[in-house]
A and B are shown apart, each in its own frame.
Chain A
């Protein structure tokens, strides 16, 4: 299986834009869909992006996802940052035989 590597933490000011990366260690990032989950402190995770760049209903359009084959990575971009966006974000994809892989998570601080 491959690894999904995320930065341990990022921080940005309210109103700004932040991008969180998720780099696949082997195999193409484009081979399997990438999801992003948000986990606020003390809560269960919830989906914010599915299938690379799709937003579930109820998730603000400030959240967007993309993949970049040149860097073999997926990215989650949050624009117009709000203090409520402060959370841990996990990327997730699939390995062979439908095995699930999660990234290590990125703690977003909005200060």
Chain B
């Protein structure tokens, strides 16, 4: 059974760096074909794709956030980490960790419960 669980601060100050962790179980983040990513959703608003990290360490980021995002993985701990620099109140959202299905169009077959991040001084 695949599960993903996000953790991290619930409140960050503007200009700070946000770091979120996704603990994965039921699969290895380094197994061939695996991709884990992040999606965010401001309260009451649409989903926004942030990026993916692949089993081989390759990454893909949203062009609008590319300069501020880093996604890494820790294979021994089987976790994925999202780092976002220079946060702003517009970055306040629920951040979801997602597992991308291996093969086909690679739709998102598993989602974490999400973690709500507030950005305020």
- Enumerate chain A interface residues (CB-CB to B < 8 A): 1, 33, 35, 37, 44-47, 50-51, 56, 90, 92, 94, 97-105
Contacts and interface: CB of A to CB of B under 8 A. Distances in A.
Given A44-B112, A102-B49, A103-B46, A35 B62 contact: no
Interface of B: 45-49, 60, 62-63, 96, 104-105, 107-109, 111-114
B108 A90 contact: no
A54 to B, nearest CB: 9
Contacts of B63: 1, 99
A98 B46 contact: no
User: B interface, by DSSP: helix, strand, loop or mixed?
Assistant: loop
A105 B48 CA distance: 11
Contact of A35 (B107, B112, B113): B107
B49 A45 contact: no
Contacts of B96: 44-45
19 contacts: A1-B63, A33-B105, A35-B105, A37-B108, A44-B111, A44-B112, A44-B114, A45-B108, A45-B111, A47-B109, A50-B105, A92-B47, A99-B49, A99-B60, A99-B63, A101-B49, A102-B46, A102-B48, A102-B49
Contacts of A100: 49, 62
A35 B106 CA distance: 10
A37 B48 CA distance: 13
